[in-house]
Amino acid sequence: MPENAMHDLIVESRKKVTMTGIKDVESFDEETIVAQSECGEIALHGKGLKISRLSVESGDMAVEGEIDSVIYSEGKSAGSFWSRVLR
């Protein structure tokens, strides 16, 4: 993780997540949202998830729904999105 990387994540009552430092959204559906932050990959899991706000220019993202877990991992996962889907 770069020393000057800036990323914040706030979970409100497991119903809303607000994040900063988001560079890209790799995939999303109602159960999983995978995004790249300045600090690595973030996977949100839950039910009825929807991205209510996204600004790649400012790096802000808000997600609403029933949040079950937030998982961080270093860097991108192995392979492109399509190579993971077609396994």
DSSP state letters, 11-77: EETTTEEEEESEEEEEEE-SSEEEEEETTEEEEEEEEEEEEEEEETTTTEEEEEEEEEEEEEESSPP
Whether 14 is covered by a domain: the verdict is yes
- Neighbouring-strand partners of residue 19: 9, 61
Whether 69 is covered by a domain: the verdict is yes
Nearest to 75 by CA among 24, 39, 50: 39
Whether 39 is covered by a domain: the verdict is yes
Whether 83 is covered by a domain: the verdict is no
Structural domain that includes position 61: 8-75
Whether 16 is covered by a domain: the verdict is yes
Whether 3 is covered by a domain: the verdict is no
Whether 87 is covered by a domain: the verdict is no
The encoded tokens of residue 59 equal 């790096």
Q: pLDDT 10s digit of each residue in the chain, 87 long?
A: 556 668 899 999 999 999 999 999 999 999 999 999 988 899 999 999 999 999 989 999 999 999 999 999 875 544 555 555 555
Domain CATH for 24: 2.60.40.2000
